Structure 1
């Protein structure tokens, strides 16, 4: 082979290498986006389960308190006490709900930070 043929082959190989790198970069980006969507979906599903459980428990507690209040209908002091207990428990549950929302917000921030780190990493740059 002549030098010119070797240069043409080398140029073709370089071009093919660049094309393959571009395809690989696109595949990596697409896979990252798919994995990210799946991860976010799983987190949202988990949060939904936690919310359902929390609200179901809260609803059960409210129903139980309502039953107790109904039984004590003729006794004013007991009714007032039960209502105060209900208010305290509701306030505690609302506080827990607020703490949960804070954790959810922090997790969302963490996910975004991980996404940014991955995008900035050498693996994502390839």
Structure 2
């Protein structure tokens, strides 16, 4: 089971390492795939060093919505059987929220071969 809370916790590390926190052997392709599913990939590419950008203590360099979406990407990378979103889209605009939920319904796993979408619970 993977849980994404309303207030995500990011470490003073790179974006890529924050996404891969629970799966340190993740490939760059897997990290980018889950970032795309969480609708944060384009934002990451606009950062000074992209996925290698240091986010600062508790993600201070990012907006609330970016932090939430990075946390969603982190959870997706785990390919848990159950995904719980505890008000995890509260800092995201309606259009982005719709895109993320659409992507979750199409979820194919970090490598594209996961057989079924994880159940999603939202607060």
Same fold (TM over 0.5): no
Larger radius of gyration: 1
Q: Normalising by structure 1, what TM-score?
A: 0.22
More strand by share: 2
More helix by share: 1
Q: Normalising by structure 2, what TM-score?
A: 0.22
